[in-house]
């Protein structure tokens, strides 16, 4: 496999990073809550890309899994 083919296959497997609005919509919380998670801790792992907050979808899913309450 050529280097270009490897790079393309890795890129194709990655999803775009989630924006704060997408995180809020997906989790069903207000946008302000996502920013509180960023400043106070809690919530999924957030990444600073320049001056923008983003999150990997896998990190969001993993965090949600830890929030599950056993009945």
Q: Has residue 8 got a pLDDT over 60?
A: no
Per residue in 9-20, pLDDT tens? 555 568 899 999
pLDDT at 68: 83
Question: Which residues does 40 contact at the CB level (< 8 Å), separation at least 6?
Answer: none
Per residue in 16-56, pLDDT tens? 999 999 999 999 999 999 999 999 989 999 999 999 999 99
> What is the number of alpha carbons within 13 Å of residue 20 lying toward its C-beta?
16
Domain ranges of the chain: 17-66
Region for residue 2 given its phi and psi (left: phi exceeds 0; alpha: psi -120 to 50; beta: otherwise):
beta
Which structure tokens are listed for 56?
């990997």
pLDDT at 11: 54
């Amino acid at each position: 496999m050529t280097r270009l083919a490897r790079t393309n296959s890795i890129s194709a497997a990655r999803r775009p990073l989630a924006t704060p609005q997408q995180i809020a919509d997906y989790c069903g919380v207000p946008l302000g809550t996502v920013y509180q998670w960023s400043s106070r801790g809690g919530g999924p792992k957030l990444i600073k890309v320049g001056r923008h907050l983003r999150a990997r979808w896998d990190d969001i899913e993993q965090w949600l899994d830890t929030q599950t309450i056993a009945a």
